[in-house]
Chain A
Amino acid sequence: MEDIAQELLNGSRLALSRAITAIENEYDNATAIMKKLYPHTGHAYVLGITGPPGAGKSTLTDKLAKEYRKQGKTVGIVAIDPTSPFSGGAILGDRIRMNSLTLDEGVFIRSMGTRGSLGGLSHKTADAVKAMDAFGMDVIFVETVGVGQSEVDIVKAADTTMVVLIPGMGDDIQAIKAGILEIGDIFAINKADHDGADKLVTELNMMLDLDGVMKEWRPPIIKAVANQNIGVTELVETFKKHHDHIVSSGQLTQRRTERTKNEMLDLLSSNIGSYITRNIVDTGKIDKMVEDIKAHKIDPYTVVSEILQNMLK
């Protein structure tokens, strides 16, 4: 493929797929692709779906996607599953709940492994979302890995974040309060066909009462039964309300400014990191430096500032 970015912009699904691979694997052409795609991004509404393992995130995403398709919107889905820290391999199983979307030409689903990232996404998730955005997807879902309490990177990537909880975890709700409960713009109480859904709604409401007094948006709590398509239209309406709210309150702009800033800083530090690896570590220069520092011929602070000065030349 000659010019992946151009072909993606022309509407080639294979090019979209190849672009995501180039980004994810950090191929030499990845930066050039992103440069060309960037001007075409910023149109999609990015929805984060997070929650504990097995809560029904993928099943809900499948149903929500179908609802947006009924409205004529195109849908991208990036689904993350954990990479094994031992083998580096992964079983990417989210797609299994979304098989009936596969042949819909208005939908594109891509599974990604975390590849060492600990925040519930992979390092390249944001760029994969950008590729789908540039391709022209109206709505992009990002499904995180099954999270505990500290994997909250999704708030940095999404415009609206939905936290999916299930009954039966009621006693644990205090424990997870510190983490994922704070990032929910919307709560879905899925598996409401199981006992304890109302109890969970009550508890969640009590917690929101405690910390929500000053907030201009109180996260709605919606009961759902994903595999029976119950609660799905209500969730889509709630997404719309939240979207309207963040647009009119200026929060969307604020969130995206913050995101742009974070992404720029990430890019900067990762480029500095790879400069150092390429020029100092791979060349073996580091060994001489370490020798000299150890022998007290020079101090590490001077060495580092010299490296930085050389880099900026």
Chain B
Amino acid sequence: MDKRIRVLVAKPGLDGHDRGAKVVARALRDAGFEVVYTGLRQTPEQIAEAAMQEDVNVVAMSILSGAHPHLFPKVVDLVRGKGMKDCLIIGGGVIPEGDIPALKAAGIAEVFTPGTPTGKIVEFIKTNVK
């Protein structure tokens, strides 16, 4: 057996801030994960389809523009709709505290805001991935 945790790091929507996504992608690689990075400006449909084709264990989205209330839940629905029942879906970026409960209720397992040490993200994935 040669199982490795596979993660799709994606930037949904028109938000052009990609530093955080790249920092997270590199940290996950250094933790031994296989990270598929799809770059900027992905639609929720593209993210869900890529997640399915790559059979990732985790979909990790980054948004700093404020579009998370709409985009994050949309991706959750589409990913589940592809039959990816066990896929862990997390998000990060500039996200107000007050928005987090609704995102979690919509199926985002955890939200990581600015200043989060990357080690915490790695730990969360290792503990919660199926």
Residue numbers of A with Cβ under 8 A of B are 13-14, 17-18, 20-21, 24-27, 83-84, 87-93, 95-96, 99, 102-103, 108-111, 113, 115
Cross-chain contact of B1 among A27, A103, A108 (Cβ < 8 A) = A27
Asked if B99 is at the interface of the complex by the 8 Å CB criterion, the answer is: no
Cross-chain contact of B54 among A17, A26, A84 (Cβ < 8 A) = A17
A243–B46 alpha-carbon span in the complex (Å): 33
In the complex, what's the smallest C-beta–C-beta distance from A117 to chain B, in angstroms?
11
Q: Knowing that A87-B29, A95-B38 are A-B contacts, what are 5 other residue pairs whose CB atoms are under 8 Å apart, sorted by A's residue number?
A: A14-B52, A89-B28, A91-B35, A99-B42, A115-B2
Q: Could you tell me if B53 and A99 are in contact, using CB atoms closer than 8 angstroms? A: no
Q: Could you tell me if A110 and B2 are in contact, using CB atoms closer than 8 angstroms? A: no
Asked if B55 is at the interface of the complex by the 8 Å CB criterion, the answer is: yes
- Count chain B residues whose beta carbon lies closer than 8 angstroms to a beta carbon of A: 30
Q: Could you tell me if A109 and B30 are in contact, using CB atoms closer than 8 angstroms? A: no
Asked if B117 is at the interface of the complex by the 8 Å CB criterion, the answer is: no
Can you show 5 pairs from A to B with CB atoms below 8 A apart? A14-B83, A83-B34, A84-B29, A90-B29, A91-B26
Q: Could you tell me if B34 and A89 are in contact, using CB atoms closer than 8 angstroms? A: yes
Report the nearest B residue to A14, measured CB to CB.
Answer: B83
Q: A14-B83, A103-B49 are in contact. Are A24 and B2 (CB under 8 A)?
A: yes
Asked if B4 is at the interface of the complex by the 8 Å CB criterion, the answer is: yes
Cross-chain contact of A89 among B33, B53, B83 (Cβ < 8 A) = B33
A146–B34 alpha-carbon span in the complex (Å): 17
- Kindly list chain B residues whose C-beta atoms are within 8 Å of the C-beta of A84: 29-30
A83–B39 alpha-carbon span in the complex (Å): 19
Which positions 9-59 of chain B face chain A at CB distance < 8 Å? Answer: 25-26, 28-39, 42, 45-46, 49-50, 52-55
Q: Could you tell me if B1 and A90 are in contact, using CB atoms closer than 8 angstroms? A: no
Q: Could you tell me if A89 and B31 are in contact, using CB atoms closer than 8 angstroms? A: yes
Residue numbers of B with Cβ under 8 A of A are 1-4, 25-26, 28-39, 42, 45-46, 49-50, 52-55, 82-84
In the complex, what's the smallest C-beta–C-beta distance from A30 to chain B, in angstroms?
10
Cross-chain contact of A95 among B2, B50, B82 (Cβ < 8 A) = B50
Main secondary structure of the interface of B (DSSP, over half): mixed
Cross-chain contact of A96 among B26, B38, B52, B84 (Cβ < 8 A) = B38
Q: Could you tell me if A113 and B34 are in contact, using CB atoms closer than 8 angstroms? A: yes
- Kindly list chain A residues whose C-beta atoms are within 8 Å of the C-beta of B28: 89
Report the nearest A residue to B46, measured CB to CB.
Answer: A102
A24–B2 alpha-carbon span in the complex (Å): 7
- Kindly list chain B residues whose C-beta atoms are within 8 Å of the C-beta of A109: 50, 53
In the complex, what's the smallest C-beta–C-beta distance from B45 to chain A, in angstroms?
6
- Kindly list chain A residues whose C-beta atoms are within 8 Å of the C-beta of B55: 17-18, 20-21
A91–B22 alpha-carbon span in the complex (Å): 10
Q: Which of A89, A92, A93, A115 has the most CB of B within 10 A?
A: A89
Cross-chain contact of B53 among A91, A110, A113 (Cβ < 8 A) = A110
In the complex, what's the smallest C-beta–C-beta distance from A13 to chain B, in angstroms?
7
A178–B35 alpha-carbon span in the complex (Å): 33
What 6 pairs between A and B have smallest CB-CB spacing?
A: A89-B29, A96-B39, A17-B55, A88-B32, A21-B55, A89-B32
A92–B54 alpha-carbon span in the complex (Å): 10
- Kindly list chain B residues whose C-beta atoms are within 8 Å of the C-beta of A115: 2, 4
Q: Could you tell me if B34 and A90 are in contact, using CB atoms closer than 8 angstroms? A: yes
- Kindly list chain A residues whose C-beta atoms are within 8 Å of the C-beta of B39: 96, 99
- Kindly list chain B residues whose C-beta atoms are within 8 Å of the C-beta of A89: 4, 28-35
- Kindly list chain A residues whose C-beta atoms are within 8 Å of the C-beta of B49: 102-103
Report the nearest B residue to A1, measured CB to CB.
Answer: B83
- Kindly list chain A residues whose C-beta atoms are within 8 Å of the C-beta of B30: 84, 87, 89
A115–B50 alpha-carbon span in the complex (Å): 21
Q: A20-B55, A103-B49 are in contact. Are A113 and B26 (CB under 8 A)?
A: no
Q: Could you tell me if B31 and A103 are in contact, using CB atoms closer than 8 angstroms? A: no
A230–B38 alpha-carbon span in the complex (Å): 24
In the complex, what's the smallest C-beta–C-beta distance from A289 to chain B, in angstroms?
26
In the complex, what's the smallest C-beta–C-beta distance from B84 to chain A, in angstroms?
8
Q: Could you tell me if A92 and B36 are in contact, using CB atoms closer than 8 angstroms? A: yes
In the complex, what's the smallest C-beta–C-beta distance from B21 to chain A, in angstroms?
12
